[in-house]
Amino acid sequence: MRKRLFVSVAALATGLSLLVAASFAGAATTAAGTAGKAGKTGGTLNVNLSATDFDFLDPSLSYASWSWQFTYLVNLKLLNFPDKPRPEGSQLVAEGADLPTISADGKTYIFTVKSGFKFNTGEVVTAQSFADGIDRTMNPKMQSPGAQDIFLGSVVGYADAVAGKTTHLSGVTVKGNVLTIKLSKADPAFLSKISLPFFSAIPKGMPINDKGEHTFASAGPYYIKSYDVGRQAIIERNPNYTGSRPHNLDRIVVTINTDLDQSFLQVKSGQADYDAGGLPPAQVASLAPLLGKQFFVDTQLETDYLALNTSAGRFFSDVSARKAANMAVDRPAMLRARGAFAGKRTDQVLPPGMAGFRDEKIYPIAGADVEKAKALWSKGGKITVYMGNRGAALIQAQVLQYNFKQIGIDTDIQLFTSAVLYSKAGTKGEAFDIASAAWGSDYPDASDFLDVLLNGQNIHATNNNNLAYFNQADINTALNNAAVLSGPARAKAYGDIDVQITSKYAPWVAYDNRNERSFFSSKVDPACYVFQPIYAKPDLASLCLK
């Protein structure tokens, strides 16, 4: 008993000492992180990354859109999307190599790698640096998502490389400063694909490690100085960078896994400068007076939609029911659920800004047209709806329930976490009628929307992205024909298919294209703000402090 009392007294004393210590600490020091010095260049940007961590920073493994915002700072690619807003920011330009020479049959790409680029360690960038980057990503011991067939599946030797039969992609050859890539079949989207972060230049001897390297030499404007998983990453300016990309800040300190609400207060008070993880939805409206000063709103290459299951025997196998759904859904209400400045209403598959998109105003986007919906569908019925179980999805579920009730359709709403929803809806034969989904492209080409999401020839037993199970022979043929086109003809073909799918077959109720909403502390100079349209994020390389 004596010991227990002693423990209690000791705990009391410890607690009191902690209280005293806390009060001293509060008086003597400032919060973690320091503000950068004033001026157009230099200084430290304190970034929070709320509610998540990087998946990876290693160029062969990084695949999350929020990670790409940061790897865009450090990677040197053959071609890249410049640090400029739309439309220039959407056009590929030469970076580590000159624009390539392409053979007449579209199967051979010859890149001449520029001289003068160096990694932060001083190592010179060569054509071999890019070839090594490609080989490392294809190596099965890396298990890289960059080795998916859809990216470089057309390069000669792909199958052998991903099967582990060779450590070098035979279609990629290096001679001096010339990198030649041979394809087994023409791929007009190849330049967009080879410009993915997976195929950046890497230093000699970068380890093959399926867990990813945390720090590594980089040839872009910045490099990763340190990365403590789950805690913090420090990104610093590459002292050897001689390229034309901006690199205003000396250093970017990323605090990982912050809380959205807490982080918002930090940015408001200047303890942090920006939250790459987003904003609390309820707080966005209050930022309206700061629009263009500290608060910025930009459109992403993304579409939010309801996939209508067109499989035989399901409710939406009837095209009239699908068109009625497009009339019945209240798109403004669906968008409002996401909060202020959340996006722009749409009724089409392709987002504005994607080459080929043209706005045809096929279905009502100003609100539901119940009468037209009833005219198309008067039989009533019951549908099963798969929705997310967080945030806006809960409100949207109620909107849908009301909208469908208006035309006599009962709904069985089933809520799932995102991973479960996509897994269930992606399994062929799953008993659902509507799945709420969103899609942003990996690379800026309409094929990465239409071909991936609505080509019936891509339907498998599991892991489907075609959640509508839409399989229409004439559309499949049109998509296959468009895939071999290039330039304006390609864009027009995909634009036509988008309109044809939406107006004639209506496998989706597309309802909005989401905005990126970014809020900066008062220390950040708004004059330096650039929204990179392809990465759909503020360009941190362009940012500067006042």
Partner 1 sequence: MTRYVIRRILWALVLFVVVTFVSYVIFFLIPADPVKLFAGRQATPEDMARAAAFYGLDQPFYVQYWKFLSRLVTHGVIGEKALGFSFVNRQWIASGVQSRAPVTASLVLGGAVMWMILAVPIGIVSALRPRSLIDRGATVFVLIGISAHPVFLALIFLYIFGYKLHMFPIGSYADFFNPPPGQAGGPLQWAWHMFLPWCTFAILFAALYVRMIRASVIETMNEDYVRTARAKGAPEWVVMRSHILRNALLPIVTMLGMDIALGLGGAVFTESVYSLPGLGQWAVQSLETFDLPVTMGVVVFATTAVLVVNVIVDVLYAVIDPRIKLA
Window 436-455: residues binding partner 1 (CB under 8 A): 442, 452
Token readout for 265 is: 């207060």
Residues 177-206 that bind partner 1 (CB under 8 A): none
Cβ neighbours of residue 100 under 8 Å, at least 6 residues apart?
A: 78, 79, 109, 110, 111, 191
In the set 45, 76, 92, 147, which binds partner 1 (CB under 8 A)? 147
Question: Residue 147 or residue 179: which is nearer to partner 1 going by CB?
Answer: 147
Stretch that binds partner 1, among 56-64, 69-77, 110-118, 299-307 (CB under 8 A): 56-64
Residues 413-432 that bind partner 1 (CB under 8 A): 417-420, 422-424, 427
In the set 42, 85, 106, 145, which binds partner 1 (CB under 8 A)? 145
Tell whether residue 53 is a contact of partner 1 (CB under 8 A).
yes
Tell me the site size for partner 1, rule CB under 8 A. 80
- Measured CA to CA, the distance from residue 173 to residue 169 in angstroms comes to 8
Measuring CA to CA, how many Å separate 370 from each of 21, 150, 210, 323?
65, 41, 53, 12
Report CA dihedral (317, 323, 327, 330) to the nearest 10 degrees: 40
In the set 263, 311, 471, 472, which binds partner 1 (CB under 8 A)? 263
Stretch that binds partner 1, among 138-146, 321-329, 360-368, 504-512 (CB under 8 A): 138-146
Q: Which residues in 3-24 are b (16+ Cβ under 10 Å) and which e?
A: eeeeeeeeeeeeeeeeeeeeee
Residues 224-253 that bind partner 1 (CB under 8 A): 226, 228-232, 234, 253
Residues 460-489 that bind partner 1 (CB under 8 A): 460-463, 465
CB 265: neighbour CB atoms within 10 A?
Answer: 13
- Measured CA to CA, the distance from residue 116 to residue 522 in angstroms comes to 37
CB of 198 to partner 1, least distance (A): 10
Tell whether residue 255 is a contact of partner 1 (CB under 8 A).
yes
Tell whether residue 527 is a contact of partner 1 (CB under 8 A).
no
Contact criterion met (CB below 8 Å) for 365 and 510: no
Tell whether residue 52 is a contact of partner 1 (CB under 8 A).
yes
Question: Residue 49 or residue 397: which is nearer to partner 1 going by CB?
Answer: 49
- Measured CA to CA, the distance from residue 453 to residue 483 in angstroms comes to 14
**Which residue stretches of 362-463 are H helix?**
370-376, 392-406, 418-425, 447-454
Tell whether residue 42 is a contact of partner 1 (CB under 8 A).
no
In the set 42, 85, 106, 140, which binds partner 1 (CB under 8 A)? 140
Query: Which helix (H) or strand (E) element contains residue 233?
Result: strand 232-237
CB of 242 to partner 1, least distance (A): 27
- Helix/strand/coil percent split, the chain, to 5: 35, 20, 45
Tell whether residue 150 is a contact of partner 1 (CB under 8 A).
yes
Q: Which amino acid is at 417?
A: T
CB of 427 to partner 1, least distance (A): 7
Tell whether residue 6 is a contact of partner 1 (CB under 8 A).
no
Tell whether residue 282 is a contact of partner 1 (CB under 8 A).
no
Q: Which amino acid is at 537?
A: K
Tell whether residue 286 is a contact of partner 1 (CB under 8 A).
no
Tell whether residue 29 is a contact of partner 1 (CB under 8 A).
yes
